[in-house]
Structures are given as C-alpha cells and as structure tokens.
C-alpha cells in the first residue's frame, strides 16, 4: 500500500490550475491519503467558498482514497463544518498508523512551532492582510532565487520542532512524528521526525509510506 502524506497546500482563490492538476496526479497515484493540515487557507478563503470552488474537483478523488484530514492552524476545526466529510473519511487533530516496523504519528505541527495566529487573538482582517502580502513576497522570491530561497526561509524551522517533539513526547525508538506546518520537507529517522513540506509557489514536497518506509519527494509543478 502506498500512503500519500501532503500538507500546507493552502488552497484559496483564484484556483491555481497547475497545482490542481498536480494534486490530482499524486492523489491518483496513491492508495490512501493523509492531508496533514493547512489543506485550504481560512485566512484567504471562507470554508463555504472553498467547498463551492473548483478545488472541489479533488473531493471525489480524496474520498476514493479514504482520506484522513488532520486539522492545521490555517484550517482549524472551528473554521469548517461537516462538509469536511465531502473530501475525507476521518477528521482529527492527531492520527496514528502502525506498520510492522514503525508507528507513524501525524499532527499538523503547530504545537511544535507556535505561530502568532495560534498564540495571539489577532483579528481576521489583519491576518488576512499579512498572509496576502506574505504569499506575494514569497512567490516573488521563489521566482528570483528558486528552491534556495525556500531552503533558507523554512528549513531551520524543523530543528526547533525536533527539539520540542523530543521534549513534549519523548518518542519511542520505533515512533516517527510526521508534521507539516514548517513548509520544508525532511525525513530524519535518527530524531524520530519527518516533515511533509508544502505545495506552494510552484514547488512541491510530500511524503509517501510504502512497506513501512517513509520517503520524501520534491519537485517543481509550475
């Protein structure tokens, strides 16, 4: 069985046709899907708009793969309703899969790196403005500097998350904590850690698990 894990696609309007087709392709190539948070971006689009947009072309594909939906900080449980069942079989804050060799524990990751939207009660309109500007600036920097910018901007975040996971959870030797949130993919089994990266700005990182082996995949989709 091939399990696909992706996160931080931050879907909003207008629909990015290349991202839509890329997501269709990787979902179709899997047997099961775990959406590890920040599937859509509630600071950019209302849940009702998301459900009724062309992003809903993904929904029957995800349902056919019995998708598990982990809530993130940009798509928290409070932002959605029962219509999450249109694209997922299970909705949770945390999910666990056991294989003969390892146990994989999925959380979005906001507990391992606390962000302002979680720690402060900031009004939606100000978060919306900040995130619009942030997406624009990051997209521009990717156009100028490519993957190098993404690595410089996001990769360090995983180090902080590894330390917090070790302190908060004290994982057993055969446990792997799989998070999103940090926007940089990595597999570090020595530290019981994996990160599913993001699908943003024309660059995609995602994970697969096959026969208990977790693998990072990455590449351009623009």
Task: List pLDDT tens digits, range 87-138.
Answer: 999 999 999 999 999 999 999 999 999 887 765 566 666 778 888 899 999 9
Question: Tokens standing for 14?
Answer: 């207008």
Of 214, 196, 207, the residue nearest 109 (C-alpha): 196
Q: Which domain holds residue 133?
A: 2-220
pLDDT in the model for residue 122: 63
CATH number at residue 179: 3.60.21.10
Q: For residue 52, how many other CB atoms are within 10 A of its CB?
A: 11
Q: Considering the entire predicted model, what is its pTM?
A: 0.95
**pLDDT band for position 17 (50/70/90)?**
very high
pLDDT in the model for residue 206: 98
pLDDT in the model for residue 67: 98
Across the range 161-190, mean pLDDT stands at 97
Provide the mean pLDDT of the chain. 95
The structural domain count of the chain equals 1
With a CB cutoff of 8 Å and minimum separation 6, the contacts of 57 are 20, 24
């Amino acid at each position: 069985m091939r399990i696909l894990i992706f996160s931080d696609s931050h879907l909003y309007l207008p629909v990015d046709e290349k991202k839509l087709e890329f997501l269709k392709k990787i979902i179709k190539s899997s047997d099961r899907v775990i959406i590890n948070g920040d599937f859509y971006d509630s600071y950019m689009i209302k849940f009702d708009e998301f459900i009724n947009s062309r992003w809903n072309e993904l929904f029957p594909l995800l349902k056919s793969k019995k998708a598990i939906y982990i809530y993130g900080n940009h798509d928290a449980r409070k932002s959605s309703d029962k219509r999450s069942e249109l694209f997922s079989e299970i909705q949770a804050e945390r999910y666990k899969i056991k294989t003969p060799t390892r146990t994989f524990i999925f959380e979005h990751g906001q507990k391992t790196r606390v962000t302002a939207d979680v720690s402060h009660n900031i009004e939606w309109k100000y978060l919306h403005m900040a995130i619009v500007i942030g997406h624009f600036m990051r997209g521009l920097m990717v156009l100028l500097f490519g993957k190098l910018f993404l690595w410089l901007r996001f990769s360090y975040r995983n180090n902080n998350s590894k330390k917090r996971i070790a302190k908060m959870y004290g994982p057993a030797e055969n446990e792997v904590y799989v998070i999103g949130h940090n926007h940089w993919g990595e597999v570090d089994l020595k530290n019981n850690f994996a990160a599913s990266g993001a699908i943003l700005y024309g660059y995609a990182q995602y994970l697969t698990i096959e026969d208990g082996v977790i693998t990072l995949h990455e590449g351009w989709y623009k």
